[in-house]
Amino acid sequence: MPLEISGLVKRYGRGADAREVVRGLDLKLQRGECFALLGPNGAGKTTTLRCALGLTEASAGHIRLCGLPVPGQAREARARVGVVPQMDSLDPDFTCAENLIVFAGYFGIHEREIRPRVPELLAFAGLEGKETARIQSLSGGMKRRLTLARALVNRPELLVLDEPTTGLDPQARHLIWERLRRLTAEGTTILLTTHFMDEAERLAHRLAILDTGRILAQGSPREVIAAHIEPQVVEVFGDWTEADSAGGSGAAAWAAAHAGALSHRCEISGETAFCYTDDAPPLLAHLARQPGLRTLHRPANLEDVFLKLTGRELRD
Amino acid sequence: MPRSEAPPIPVTAHFAPPRLSLRLVAVWRRNFLVWKKLALPSIVGNLADPVIYMLGLGYGLGLLVPEVEGVSYIAFLAGGTLAYSTMNAATFEVLYSGFSRMHVQKTWEAIMNAPIALDDIVAAELVWAASKSCLAGVAILAVIAAFGFTTSPLALAAIPVVFLTGLCFAALGLIMTALAPSYDFFMYYFTLFITPMTLLSGVFFPQGQLPDSVQAIAAALPLSHAVSLIRPLLLGHVPAQIGLHLGVLALITVLAFWLALGLTRRRLLK
């Protein structure tokens, strides 16, 4: 199994100041799958990855990476893992090709072995002909793609990506998604963290929603949606006033007056009411008679589950 | 699987003995390859400053000070120059370049994702800084020999001493790197430690000129031990108390590296 985590706890500080960042996390990755860890900032995603790679010691729990115990044999296990970190850590003193060659050296791969593979690795990252380009001349998207190529120098069994597309433009994100799908098709197991729901929905065979150090939901994107939320969403926004209403206007006032009877559950966020229901037609028929209100009817998605489970308040 | 409650990691775990592997050679090589790209300006940079001081003070002050301890002032100064420039080269490398690699460029973080442990990285930085200071030292020694300030073949024995001096000051500097919040922090280390030590360690004048109360402290400074070894070798005789001076430099290297590694682990492995 590429990665097996059970009962992982990570605690910082001690005594009264102790803070649990990961609180009893279990995770099993199947060979060849893409698994996404979803969670707001501070949910414990990066800490979980650092523990799994043996870069920090867990306070409790058991970890096996590529079949080897971590941290006991973390170094040996990492020889079979590729990592794309959240922050750019390319070597600015080297060209693109040198970055790959020097990094391969850290795995004990000799230059004569890696040099013939450099054009292929760069092509995979969409960086054909950039062998001698300097790192400073690359855009953010190119740097992230080169980091992806760098993570593949050792032909890893497991590829770990920490927010691989944060800060990238849509073109660059789509290219990375396409390459990651190609890797899983070839049998590489992928573990990624993200807070982009569309990324998880498109890429992940399975995912876990993580918050305050615990897994709140786990399964395939469809399973998670089916298990945790009503299938239909009607978003309601715009102007609304009822002659006999006690006061107030807009979607929130409408929701207070009618949503309870017409939907299963309704949440207000800003100017919009999100009505969750199994049976949308009566609600839509009612809304059609409210001229000031506008509606958007759609199937529930992962973001709805995520917001239901982790709440709508801001995280910093 | 039952959950096992491991005890919290004790602080002492950070200060456990280093566990090193040969993979550190790859990290050393990375620094060497970067240096090779800029080798000439790097050597000139490490060479120009000490050589200018040596020639300027040696010829200038040398007019006023005809002889020190039985040799010309510039020949006296040559050994001191080699020692303190080695100290400076090793210190600059681990402080500024080391901090860049650790904190700014995240080079260490990238390397730790490969099968290389932090212990290997810090050890590689130590040996690399000593290597670089030794390369600069050899260049300075060549200048000293070219000017005829040393003529003894014993001067070649100064090269391993220069390497050991580099290790010692790299290890001390790595403690500062592990503690530094930013580059500005290093100014304290230079003004409070490196500069006073340069003046007290017999680089520019014999330690006998210092007040008695200061002499004992001065003699214990790591640079004093380096000067006590390098100067006699350049002047063609075997240093007195050779074992003591080598032993102190080696001991400081080991203790400072152990402390630096512990502090670096505490900083990065959280």
CB A51 within 8 A of CB A58: yes
Please give the pLDDT value at position A244.
55
- Helices of type H across chain A: 45-52, 74-78, 96-106, 111-114, 118-124, 140-150, 170-185, 197-203, 221-228, 250-254, 260-262, 281-288, 302-310
Residue A166 · residue A186 · CB < 8 Å = no
CB B267 within 8 A of CB B122: no
Taking alpha carbons only, the member of B237, B231, B171 closest to residue B201 is B231
pLDDT at B2: 42
Q: How confident is the model at residue B3 (pLDDT cuts 50, 70, 90)?
A: very low
Q: Which residues, other chains included, contact A223 with Cβ-Cβ below 8 Å and sequence gap of 6+?
A: none
Q: B1 pLDDT exceeds 60?
A: no
Which residue of chain A has the CA closest to B120? A106
Name every residue in A having a CB less than 8 A away from some CB of B.
Answer: 6-7, 9, 11-12, 14, 24, 53, 55-62, 75-76, 78-79, 81, 83, 85, 87-94, 98, 102-103, 105-108, 150-151, 154
Quote the pLDDT of residue A270: 85
Q: CA A188, CA A31: separation in Å to the nearest integer?
A: 7
What whole-number distance in Å separates Cα of residue A142 and Cα of residue A172?
Answer: 8
Contacting residues for A241 by C-beta, under 8 A, at least 6 apart: A249, A253, A292
Res. A195 pLDDT band, cuts 50 70 90? confident
- Taking an 8 Å cut-off on Cβ atoms, the answer to whether B106 and A85 are in contact is yes
Higher pLDDT, residue A217 or A242:
A217
DSSP for residue B125:
H
Q: How far apart are CA A214 and CA A51, in angstroms?
A: 15
Residue whose pair of structure tokens reads 């990624």 in the numeric block: A192
The two structure tokens encoding residue A185: 């098709």
Mean pLDDT of A2-31: 92
Cβ neighbours, 10 Å, residue B238: 10
Torsion angle in degrees (nearest 10) through CA of A219, A223, A227, A229: 110
Q: In the structure encoding, which two tokens stand for residue B135, read together? A: 């390369």
Q: Is the pLDDT of residue B8 over 80?
A: no
In single-letter form, the type of residue at position A153 comes to: V
Whether ipTM tops 0.85, in short, is yes
Q: Are strands A214-219 and A68-70 parallel, antiparallel or unpaired?
A: unpaired
The Cα–Cα gap between A161 and A122 comes to 18
Confidence of residue A247 (pLDDT cuts 50, 70, 90): low
Mutation to test the B interface, candidates A93, A110, A150, A152, most B Cβ within 10 Å: A93
Chain B positions touching A136 (Cβ under 8 A) are none
The pLDDT of residue B97: 96
Within 8 A by CB and 6+ apart from A62, the residues are A4, A5, A6, A7, A8, A69, B1, B4
What are B142-163's pLDDT values in tens digits?
A: 999 999 999 999 999 999 999 9
**In the predicted model, is pLDDT for residue A313 greater than 80?**
no
Contacts of B26 in chain A (CB under 8 A): 105-106, 108
Test the A interface: residue of B23, B113, B266, B267 with most A CBs within 10 Å: B113
Would the CB atoms of A85 and B113 count as touching at under 8 Å?
yes
Sorted by sequence, the CB contacts under 8 Å of residue B250 that are 6+ apart come out as: B164, B168
Terminal Cα distance for chain A, rounded: 34
Confidence bin at B7 (pLDDT 50/70/90) = very low
Contact A78 B33 (CB under 8 A): no
SS3 string, B8-60, reads CCCHHHHHCCCCCCCCHHHHHHHHHHHHHHCHHHHHHHHHHHHHHHHHHHHHH
Nearest to A78 among B2, B110, B115 (CB): B115
Which residue of chain A comes nearest to B110, CA vs CA? A89
pLDDT confidence tier of residue A280, bands split at 50, 70 and 90: very high
Q: What is the mean pLDDT of residues B224-243?
A: 97
Place B218 in a pLDDT band, splitting at 50, 70 and 90.
very high
Cα angle: A196, vertex A202, A208; to 5 degrees: 60
Distance from the Cα of A221 to chain B's closest Cα (Å) equals 26
Would the pLDDT of B4 be above 50?
no
For residue A153, which of B96, B149, B113, B13 has the smallest C-alpha distance? B113
- Smallest Cβ–Cβ distance between A14 and the set B1, B8, B270 belongs to B8
Q: What is the DSSP string of B220-265?
A: HSHHHHHHHHHHHHHHTSPPTTHHHHHHHHHHHHHHHHHHHHHHHH
> Please, where are the H alpha helices in A158-196?
170-185
Instruction: State the average pLDDT over residues A177-196.
Output: 95
Please give the pLDDT value at position B12: 61
Tokens of A25: 């996390």
Provide mean pLDDT across the span A30-35: 96
B27 touches chain A (CB under 8 A): yes
For residue A137, what are its two tokens? 């001349």
Tokens 């707001």, located at residue: A40
The partner residue sitting opposite A106, judged by closest CB among B4, B114, B270, is: B114
CB contact under 8 A, A61 and B110: no
> For B90-106, b where at least 16 C-beta lie within 10 A, e where not — what string?
bbbbbbebbbbbbbebb
* Interface touch A85/B270, C-beta < 8 Å: no
Residue A155, token pair as written in the block: 């032909």
CB neighbours of B8 closer than 8 A, spacing ≥ 6? A11, A14, A59
